[in-house]
Amino acid sequence: MTANVTDEPWDETDCRTTHTPATDSRFAVPLRGVTVDGETRCRHWHSAVDVLALRFDCCGTYYPCAACHAETTDHDPERLPRDRFNERAVLCGRCRTPLSVERYLDDGDSCPSCGAVFNPGCRAHYHLYFQV
């Protein structure tokens, strides 16, 4: 997967990197990643609309992107099976509301709770997180 390192200004002052088994204590769900800010942007994806994290089925942990999973764990990724899309496996980084995969896929490019706009380019990567 090619990461999208944007040219947009990005303040890394309050960012954290967490590796297995630690998780980022700023979030109510288990979350890891590389240079993650308070709205789940990471070193790989940090534009204004990169504000979600996705839960990998292998470890039950949320990551801002697949590259963060690869860099901070010691295991191969496993995708959430289609028959479990009713489970909460998507986290809005803006309001921190967990969403079911069904709701995320149905609502498209914004959070149904706070209206935060998500990166529409994420659609191209669904296959990395979910068995679609």
The reported pLDDT for the residue numbered 8 is: 63
> What are the sequence ranges of the domains in the chain?
16-129
How far apart, in whole angstroms, are the C-alpha atoms of residue 75 and residue 69?
A: 9
Per-residue pLDDT of the chain (132 residues), as tens digits, is 444 555 566 788 889 999 999 999 999 999 999 999 999 999 999 999 999 999 999 999 999 999 999 999 999 999 999 999 999 999 999 999 999 999 999 987 999 999 999 999 998 999 999 998
Contact 96, 82 (CB under 8 A): no
Which pTM does this prediction carry? 0.91
In Å, what is the CA distance from 56 to each residue of 62, 78, 84? 6, 6, 12
